[in-house]
């Protein structure tokens, strides 16, 4: 249980590394939603900061390799006594995400460390509160108070993305849309952006330099070919059923609506 929770702690710390939001739809409207956090570069930086390098014996043995998927409902059943003993806030968070899963892929020698949080859904309506569910999944770590304190009291917190953003999805026979709503008091967004991207603040500038190389990727797969998408630079698969596009993390923070799109399917 502790090991699983610690993995979630990594996601909470590193949600602003390269992120891929993936949606795969089946013919009947069911599908899979998955957000993957690619933390390989962060893992390399952390290893270097902690002394870096491996001994000759460690190099011969090879680094850790892991490729596993865990379903929250199974975790809750296996560790039900531990879950029951959690503080109410975390226990309720576990209840809220019990229909979700987490996968972890690690290859130390290749510098791969990917953590995914996802949901297998029967209808697109089940994605209505997906942002809140992901946040609750990320909150399930034993060091949540320390993480919250770091976010509130350091420039890093400014770059985690807003908790006021809510992403909605619509799917019809002829089209698909991704729509972001920002729940923020009128008139406060401009001041927040000015503070976040204040170039005179050296601490902010350091983080901006790092996040210039971080991206938010969107990958959409449909059961029918796509006729058009209103995103410049989107890449189509050969059968035109999968579309990928990405934006720089800094640009995403400035304008979360930049990821929104309207997709039109080929009439068949």
What proportions of the chain, in percent to the nearest 5, are helix, strand and coil?
Answer: 40, 30, 30
Cα separation of 55 and 57, whole Å?
Answer: 5
Q: Rounded to the nearest 10 degrees, what angle do helices 130-138 and 88-96 cross at?
A: 130
Cα separation of 208 and 198, whole Å?
Answer: 10
State how many domains the chain has.
1
Kindly report, residue by residue over 54-86, the tens digit of the pLDDT: 555 555 566 778 888 889 899 889 988 988 888
Which residue would you say has higher pLDDT here, 62 or 227?
227
Domain containing residue 13: 2-52+59-265
3-state secondary structure of 229: strand
Kindly report, residue by residue over 84-130, the tens digit of the pLDDT: 888 888 888 888 889 999 888 888 788 788 888 999 999 999 999 89
User: How far from each other are the two terminal CA atoms of the chain, in whole angstroms?
Assistant: 49
Which residue would you say has higher pLDDT here, 180 or 9?
180
Mean pLDDT of the chain: 77
Q: Three-state secondary structure along 38-88?
A: ECHHHHHHHHHHCCCCCCHHHHHHCCCEEEEEEEHHHHHHHCHHHHHCCCH
């Amino acid at each position: 249980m502790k090991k699983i929770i610690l993995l979630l702690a990594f996601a909470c710390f590193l949600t602003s590394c390269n992120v891929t939001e993936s949606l795969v739809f089946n013919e009947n409207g069911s599908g899979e939603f998955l957000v993957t956090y690619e933390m390989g570069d962060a893992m390399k930086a952390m290893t270097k900061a902690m002394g870096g390098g491996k001994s000759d014996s460690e190099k011969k043995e090879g680094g850790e390799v892991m490729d596993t998927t865990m379903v929250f409902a199974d975790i809750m059943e296996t560790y039900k006594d531990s879950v029951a003993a959690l503080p109410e806030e975390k226990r309720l968070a576990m209840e809220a995400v019990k229909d979700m899963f987490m996968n972890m892929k690690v290859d130390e020698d290749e510098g791969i460390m990917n953590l995914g949080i996802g949901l297998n859904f029967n209808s697109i309506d089940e994605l209505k509160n997906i942002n809140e569910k992901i946040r609750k999944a990320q909150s399930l770590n034993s060091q949540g108070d320390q993480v919250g304190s770091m976010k509130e009291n350091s420039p890093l917190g400014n770059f985690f993305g807003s908790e006021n953003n809510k992403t909605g999805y619509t799917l019809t026979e002829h089209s698909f849309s991704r729509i972001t709503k920002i729940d923020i008091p009128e008139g406060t967004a401009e001041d927040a952006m000015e503070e976040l991207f204040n170039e005179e603040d050296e601490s902010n500038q350091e983080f901006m330099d790092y996040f210039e190389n971080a991206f938010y990727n969107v990958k959409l797969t449909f059961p029918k070919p796509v006729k058009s998408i209103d995103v410049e630079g989107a890449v189509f698969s050969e059968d035109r059923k999968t579309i990928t596009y990405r934006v720089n993390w800094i640009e995403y923070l400035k304008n979360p609506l930049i990821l929104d799109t309207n997709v039109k399917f080929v009439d068949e």
